[in-house]
Amino acid sequence: MRTHLLRFVFLSFFLPVAALQAQTLHPGADACRHTRLNYFGRLAAHPAARIKYPGDAGIDVTYYKLDLNITYTPNFLRGAVTVGLKSAADNLTRFFLDLSDAMQVDSVLAGGRKLTFSRQPDQLLIETPQPLAKGQGLAVTVYYKGIPGSTGLGSFAFATHGSQNQPVIWSLSEPYGARDWFPCKDSPADKADSSDVWITAPRTFVSVSNGRLERVLDNPDSTTRTYHWRNRYPIANYLISVAMSNYALYEQVYKPAQGDSMPVTHYIYPEALTENVRRTLGQTTNMLTFFSDYFGPYPFLKEKYGHAQFGWGGGMEHQTISSMGGFNTGIIAHELAHQWFGDKITCRTWEHIWLNEGFASYAEALYQEAIGGTPAYRAYMAAEMTDARRAKGSLYVRDLTDVDNIFDSYRTYSKGSVVVHMLRWVVGDQKFREILRTYMASPLAYGTATTEDFAAIASTVYGQSLDYFFKEWIYGENYPTYRATWSSSPAAGSAPYRVQVTISQTTGTANPAFFTMPLPIQVKTDAGDTLLTVFNDRQSQTFELAVKGRPTELVIDPENRILKQVQDVTQVVTGLNDPVAVTALTVTPNPVSDRLTLRIDAAQPFSGRLSLLNPAGQEVASLPEQSFTTGRHTVSWTVGQLAAGRYLVSLSTGDRRLTKAVILTK
Ligand SMILES: [Zn+2]
């Protein structure tokens, strides 16, 4: 699912531009968040129902057949839903299905026999015809009717589109909304082996659902038409959908490297199917090729992939048929990637939703990388990191009662995708692909997974334990803020200079107190730059690096591999017998446009000289030498007259020197 529609519209225009553009994207994203909050506002009206989760543990669902009769005038649904199940308990005499109180149940049948049933809040209790042994099967058909309510993200909607107010009807069940319109076991953990959806509606409707279209029947009443959609892949109940309107059909064919070709069907409002939208939708087959190559074959090759337009401001990855509020590259890639991450392998519980959303969001970056190269990928990830730094709490969702919390965009989406980006950095490109393909081909395929399932596969493929990574990034909170102090000295041998760097980090939390990560460090020297990686596994740690020239600057993680902040990088240039007088030099603001404020902490009196050096180490401005007493000093310095660029602020005392990098902007 994706709600950040506006953001991705902007991204498609701004993609080649650098990370600074990220800020301009936020107003759009925020507007969407507000829209979403309005949906959640409705949730408050139904507090009791939403936290009954995860369904009846006494049954294991094997099959759903939804036979639905739906009208727009009046808004109404009449259904006969058959649930195939096996008893998961010995001597099962009754069980419940989740079904909203708004739906009135007329009867429940099994093998032509009426069963006794009763209602509990948002549940339908059914007595079995005879006690069921563990593993024994039963198929019950529930006859019910009503006006489906709309909870969560808007689980069932009767709406209109276009200037003619054409009716459109759709479902969006994730996470707890399926019970609003059909009796089910409302849990992603229990997938049915297959499903059928029959939709009977007035002939103005094209009715769309999961799997292959088996048949379209014009009924003898001469006013209604029945669509039968057949799905023979395992499916989670929340991925079963209906979408109905006066759709126009735009068809493509996907030809996989091996196997038969597959239809790609776009059901679009007639007035929305412009040349531009056709072109945008046309990317779907390219994406199918790209993702199949990256993740393994498209999971539902024997059926289809497609889109059905709906009136919700985002997209939803219904199995083989994503529901879409609009069309742009990002959201098409996102929902398509969900067919692997979410539909083929489904998060077993909503606590592990990042296994769906983190990977689908990251897949957008992968596709950007495929079409726009590394700069497009980095721009995308820089924007995701800006959002991810606003994430609160752990990626593992600790409060499932609030839909807004499960689908928090900063955490579940942005931090989720950034964590996948960091995993790729930790294991390397080749192992990363291998991990994803192994996961998709594992026994988890067409089933469900937890973080631990994925972590076990990642560690096995990588060849060493990645437990530290998942522990800190999935179950931990926040991200590291790094500080570095460094000095250099000439060395003997092939590397002419030796750099000693002390990295320390704070996290603002005890969970974790520090992040263990391979940390890239770039050392700029007068003989070229060196990029090295240290394995940083302590809160404060000193590393020795060998570089090829006289070092001028040190940069932490220049390619943005890690979700982090870098607070301070200080160079200490020291002579042999010089006492340590200055304990801190801070420079604000940074970047600066006019006036710098320097703060100097002195452990003992000293006299020193402040100067500004260009990247070549040449002095371009200076202040007269001055005396400092013990304690804190503040020095103001107007530098706006200099050209924009990178500079080093230098404080020299005796033969000891401290420098701070500063960026001057205009
Ligand atoms: Zn999603």
For every residue of 319-334, which 3-state class applies, written as one string?
CCCEEECCCCHHHHHH
Whole-number Å distance, alpha carbon 359 to ligand 1 midpoint, is 9
CATH code, domain carrying 499: 2.60.40.1840
**pLDDT given at position 586:** 86
| Sign of the CA dihedral with 397 first, then 403, 405, and 411 last | positive
**Is residue 64 domain-shared with residue 38, that is, in the same domain?**
no
- pLDDT for residue 18 is more than 50: no
- Domain end position, chosen among 538, 572, 606: 572
Do both 60 and 38 map to the same domain? no
* Total of domains in the chain: 4
Average pLDDT, the chain: 90
Domain match, 458 and 517 both: no
Percent over 90 (pLDDT), the chain? 79
Residue 293 parent element (H or E): helix 283-295
- 518 C-alpha vs ligand 1 centroid, how far in Å? 29
Same-domain status, 173 and 277: no
Same domain for 585 and 523: no
State in Å: Cα 252 to ligand 1 middle.
23
Question: The pTM is what?
Answer: 0.86
* Centre of ligand 1 from the C-alpha of residue 2, in Å: 4
Q: How many helices, marked H, and strands, marked E, lie in the chain?
A: 12, 37
**495 and 518 share a domain?**
yes
pLDDT at 35 over 60: no
Q: How far is the CA of 334 from the centre of ligand 1 (A)?
A: 6
- Top-confidence residue, 445 or 615: 445
Q: Region 287-291: what's the mean pLDDT? A: 98
Q: Is 82 exposed, middle or buried (0-12, 13-18, 19+ CB in 10 A)?
A: middle
**Do 428 and 491 reside in the same domain of the chain?**
no
Q: Does the CA dihedral 289-293-294-296 come out positive or negative?
A: positive
Domain that holds residue 218: 55-246
Output b/e per residue, 48-70; b: 16+ Cβ within 10 A. Answer: ebbebbbbbebbbbbbbbbbbbb
The pLDDT assigned to 575 comes to: 52
**pLDDT given for residue 31 in this prediction:** 30
Distance from the alpha carbon of residue 414 to the mean position of ligand 1, in angstroms: 11
Q: What is the pLDDT of residue 51?
A: 54
pLDDT, residue 490, reads: 85
Rounded to whole angstroms, the Cα distance separating 658 from 557 reads 22
Of the three residues 219, 246, 273, the one that is the final residue of a domain is 246
269 C-alpha to center of ligand 1: Å? 22
- What CATH number did the domain enclosing 355 receive? 1.10.390.10
Gap from CA of 283 to ligand 1 centroid (Å): 18
> What's the pLDDT tens digit per position in 476-523?
999 999 999 999 988 877 778 999 999 999 999 999 999 999 999 999
**Where does the pLDDT of residue 24 fall: very low under 50, low under 70, confident under 90, or very high at 90 and above?**
very low
Assign residue 86 the CATH number of its domain.
Answer: 2.60.40.1730
CA of 358 to the centre of ligand 1 (A): 8
560-566 mean pLDDT: 98
Who wins on pLDDT, 282 or 619?
282
What is the distance in A from the centroid of ligand 1 to the CA of 322?
Answer: 10
Shared domain for 231 and 281, answered yes or no, is no
From ligand 1's centre to the CA of 351, what distance in Å?
A: 15
Task: Tell whether 297 and 412 lie within a shared domain.
Answer: yes
Domain boundary among 435, 455, 475: 475
**CATH number of 602's domain:** 2.60.40.2550
Tens digit of each residue's pLDDT (9 = 90 or more) over 145-164: 999 999 988 999 999 999 99
Residues 564 and 629 in one domain: no
Distance 338 CA to ligand 1 centre (A): 7
| pLDDT for the residue numbered 10 | 38
124 lies in the same domain as 225: yes
Q: Are residues 428 and 319 in the same domain?
A: yes
> pLDDT confidence of 538, banded at 50, 70, 90?
very high
Distance from residue 336's CA to the centre of ligand 1 (Å) = 9
Give the pLDDT score at 54.
81
